Structure 1
Amino acid sequence: MILDVYEAVTSRRAVRGFTDRPVPREVLERVLSAAAWAPSGSNLQPWHAYVLTGEPLVELKKRAGERVAACGAWDEREYEMYPSALQSPYHERRSAFGKERYSALGITRDDWEARQRAASDNWQCFGAPAALFCYIDRDLGRPQWADVGMY
């Protein structure tokens, strides 16, 4: 099957609900092999990818679920995900996304407990049968973060 780049980009979507059907190893290898063609400054290829399936993934989800259920303090963030004062139009886009996502789940803005439960789905990988984690060495900088993003 040949897919043109424009079609691939415009048909992209975020998925937050998966079947439990296993992903064949060959498919995972093919995806990672294709990703390795991503550009990187001076060809550093700074990414490290880890794939979890089967029992290791079940164990990770179990531990994450236990930690979320314990309602303990979260680890201090090493890096902020968003600027503390998110400016326009980004603030509005983020708010619109949150409203759309939680509305689709039947969760009202003031139902903090339901919102937390929905957020904890992240730690369950939204039910996916495979999880890919990308890492970068701590001594590399933001340009290499962009390389990992393209990967």
Structure 2
Amino acid sequence: MSLTIWRGVMSAVTHAIQNRHSTRAFLKRPVEEGLIREIIDIARFSPSSGNLQPWSLIVLSGDDLSQLKEEVDQTLAQSPKGEGMGYPIYPENLKAQYQARRAKCGEDLYATLNVSRDDRPGRAKQFARNFSFFDAPVGMVLAVDRSMGHGQWADLGMFLQTLMLLAHERGLGTCAQACWTLVHKTVERHLELPEELMVFCGIALGYADNEHPINTLRTEREPLSEFTQFKGFV
């Protein structure tokens, strides 16, 4: 590979990492099945410990996506707080520094919509949009075998990151949504997942509505000095 091509490849990877963000408003424009298949076909080369490749992915669009959303709506109408989490998204006693980052992310998100801290109905309405995949034309459900441990969940994260970067490279927006574990029983039943598989997260995918204010959100990142130590360098 020539130096020019190598720099171009590295530039594309760097650009995707620095510019990908969670998309929460999508255009109605459909996404071709062939493009989605291409993305997933490349993402399968993501690394995993012992090459276990512990991910299972269900991709929904059209009537199949609508039917899942309708069933989830029915569940939430009966149980507004959901069915109980299939796994804890955050630790029970989240340390202050992490809680501060989480709170800042939430405040910045609602600020793009001019929804105040005291506007509980407004916040609840926006949160509920998670369960429509933010009206994305494609919804994915990422599942994992219940027997897998922490190491394999890290593998899921690498697969998920790869998938989202590939989508970004092709002009698509994504949003990984852990909140789908709140309705995991409905999702697992509707998708007829085998007993050994559990819902890890949902993924909204489509073309971003760049005119929508919520898509202006860019979450902050800590400087390298806050989380990295260099030792032995001269």
So what's the TM-score if we normalise by structure 1?
Answer: 0.92
- Unaligned runs of 5+ residues in structure 1 are none
Is this contact kept in 2: 1:38–1:150, CA < 8 A? yes
Q: Look up the equivalent residue of 2:57 and give its one-letter code.
A: A
Q: Find out whether 1:108 has 2:154 as its counterpart.
A: no
> What is aligned with 1:121?
129
> What is aligned with 1:68?
76
Identity across the alignment (%): 33
Q: Look up the equivalent residue of 2:120 and give its one-letter code.
A: W
Cα RMSD after superposing both structures: 1.6
Greater Rg, structure 1 or structure 2?
2
Is this contact kept in 2: 1:46–1:144, CA < 8 A? yes
- Unaligned runs of 5+ residues in structure 2 are 1-7, 160-234
Q: Look up the equivalent residue of 1:56 and give its one-letter code.
A: D
C-alpha separation between the residues in 2 aligned to 1:91 and 1:126?
Answer: 25
Secondary structure at the aligned position of 1:31 is classed as: helix
C-alpha separation between the residues in 2 aligned to 1:5 and 1:20?
Answer: 28
2:64 to 47, 50, 56: 56
> What is aligned with 2:200?
none
Q: Find out whether 1:82 has 2:90 as its counterpart.
A: yes
Q: Find out whether 1:28 has 2:36 as its counterpart.
A: yes
Deviation digits for residues 28-57 of structure 1 (CA, Å, limit 9, x no counterpart): 101111110100011010101100011000
1:7 to 11, 15, 18: 15
Is this contact kept in 2: 1:17–1:126, CA < 8 A? yes
Is this contact kept in 2: 1:50–1:134, CA < 8 A? yes
Structure scoring higher RCO (CA < 8 A, sep ≥ 6) equals 1
Question: How many equivalent residue pairs?
Answer: 151
Is this contact kept in 2: 1:50–1:133, CA < 8 A? yes
CA-CA distance at 1:61 after TM superposition: 1.4
C-alpha separation between the residues in 1 aligned to 2:120 and 2:98?
Answer: 23
Is this contact kept in 1: 2:75–2:82, CA < 8 A? no
CA-CA distance at 1:69 after TM superposition: 3.3
**Structure 1 stretches (4+) deviating beyond 4 angstroms?**
none
Q: Look up the equivalent residue of 1:34 and give its one-letter code.
A: I
Distance 1:95 1:12, change over 3 A: same
1:138 to 118, 137, 146: 146
Secondary structure at the aligned position of 2:93 is classed as: coil
Secondary structure at the aligned position of 1:144 is classed as: helix
C-alpha separation between the residues in 2 aligned to 1:97 and 1:52?
Answer: 28
CA-CA distance at 1:71 after TM superposition: 4.5
